[in-house]
Structure 1
């Protein structure tokens, strides 16, 4: 597989994933739909993350259990924070998980030819952060409910 490095010029949005097989995401977000930070892997991608960049929350897990896909959208609020030695980094966020009927299902996005090459489909097990190109993020925004996309800077 070709290495597809992320560049700021073609970054539409960061995509962070949460695995509902490991954590009860439905219960967690029913109690509090806000996400103010999430784990990211140290590396060049994390070092590209800056306040104001759009971020998408992708829920994943065993198919059939929950309506997986895009569950929320928001903004990065600062540079990732290095964890203790051996611990994950975290990135500060201003992101709210959408009410369940407003979430954009994986099947719908997978069927959109404009999103066929998205990293989340090509490499679903890749570490956070993943990303969407400018064109892929524009395609995703066409599936979001009106008023649920971040303000473009």
Structure 2
């Protein structure tokens, strides 16, 4: 995934991604903006996840159709649960997707120098979970509704 190892000392938030081109995320979240779980890949990052840690939902896809970027913010709600052998795990979440006008667009974050090295921008195809550093999460919070 990435040669950089996430440490709890510099973890600002976990970042989970969903591809809004492959699934109707806009329709799903319009009907219910609550996210109670999401798939993550087993690995050392999953072992670092704890209830209460911040988590960000990143919608990806082609740049032309929807305003991709940060669609929601919440917290890890519990320990990740294993799935089928060699399959994805489920990360319990307490996360709400923001109304569309409040979402933080990818273009805005890409233009912010504090986000220049964000994993989600450097490796957009990497598996869940990704992460934000403390500085990147602090920068994101400046764009979120208060």
- What's the CA shift for 1:119? 0.3
Structure 1 stretches of 4+ with a deviation exceeding 6 A read none
Q: CA separation in 1, counterparts of 2:31 and 2:86?
A: 30
Map residues 91-106 of structure 1 onto 2, 5 A cutoff: 91-106=91-106
- What's the CA shift for 1:88? 1.3
* Count of equivalent residues: 146
Matched, 1:16 2:39: no
Matched, 1:121 2:121: yes
Match of 2:30 in 1: 30
Question: Which whole-Å deviations, capped at 9, do the CAs of 1:104-138 have from their partners, x for residues lacking one?
Answer: 00000100000110000010000000000001100
The alignment's TM-score, normalised by the length of structure 2, stands at 0.97
Match of 1:40 in 2: 40
Q: CA separation in 2, counterparts of 1:13 and 1:105?
A: 18
Q: CA separation in 1, counterparts of 2:120 and 2:93?
A: 20
Question: Which whole-Å deviations, capped at 9, do the CAs of 1:56-87 have from their partners, x for residues lacking one?
Answer: 00000011110000000000011110002243
Match of 1:134 in 2: 134
Match of 1:77 in 2: 77
Match of 1:64 in 2: 64
Q: CA separation in 1, counterparts of 2:144 and 2:116?
A: 17
Matched, 1:88 2:88: yes
